[in-house]
Structure 1
Amino acid sequence: MIHLYYDSRTGNVQRFINKVTQITGWSAHKIDDNLAIEQPGHLITYTTRMGSVPDNTVAFLLNQADKIFSVTSSGNRNWGQNFGIAADKISNEYDVPLAMKFELSGTMEDINQFIDIIKNQYNDSKRGSKKLDIA
């Protein structure tokens, strides 16, 4: 079973996760103060304040980063070079491979690409390539 750990403030990441889990049946866990990971998995978050990692995500990573296989971020292309940059920052700071970035709640193409990346390129506990970004 693949586990997804996500942070969503405006609902964009939540909508993305809902579509992914409907298609795949994967297990999704919303990040909160009491979430403790029992199974390693993949992190999906958002970019806030024109290029920052959300505080909830940072707090989660402080104790759980070693159990995260990859990171994906939602963003807004209007932010230019800061589009989805939370994923870049997490990848660099916590040595977690970057899976992909998507805009807002993602298109069906984004969802299918995410599923393909997680299933076929990075679905085990070994952190191989530093970067997985094909988006």
Structure 2
Amino acid sequence: MVHLYYDSKTGNVQRFINKVIQITGWQAHKIEEDLNVREAGHLVTFTTKLGCVPDKTQSFMDSYASKIFSVTSSGNRNWGKNFGLAADKISEDYDVPLAMKFELSGTMEDINQFIDIIKHQYNDSKRGSQKLDIA
């Protein structure tokens, strides 16, 4: 079973996750203060303040980075070079492979690409320092 851990502020990541779990049946866990991570999985978050990692996501990674196989971030292409930058920062700071970035709540193409990446490159695999760089 694939586990997804996600943080959503405006609902974009939540909508993306809802579509993914509807298609796959994977387990999704919203990042909250009382979340206790028992199973390794994949992080999906958002980028805030023109390129920053959200505080809740940062705190989650400080506690559970060793259980995260990959990171994906939503963003807005209007932010230019800061698009989805939270994923880049998390990837670099915690040595977690970057799976992909998507805009707002993602398109069906984004959702299918994400599912394909997770199924074929990170399904129950051990995390290493290898960077996917598919984004």
Distance 1:66 1:33 in 2: 18
Identity within the alignment, % = 77
TM-score for both structures, normalised by structure 1: 0.97
RMSD in angstroms over aligned alpha carbons? Answer: 0.9
Instruction: Give the aligned partner of residue 47 of structure 2.
Output: 47
Q: Give the 3-state SS of the residue equivalent to 2:118 in structure 1.
A: helix
Whether 1:107 and 2:107 are equivalent positions in the alignment is yes
Which of structure 1's runs of 4+ aligned residues deviate more than 3 A?
none
Contact 1:40-1:125 within 8 A present in 2 as well: no
Distance 2:127 2:117 in 1: 14
Distance 1:123 1:129 in 2: 16
Deviation per residue, 1:51-108 (Å, 9 max, x gap): 0000000011111000000000000000000000000000000000000000000000
Q: List alignment gaps of at least 5 residues for structure 1.
A: none
Distance 2:65 2:104 in 1: 24
* Shift of residue 124, structure 1, vs aligned partner: 2.2
Distance 1:125 1:118 in 2: 10
Q: List alignment gaps of at least 5 residues for structure 2.
A: none
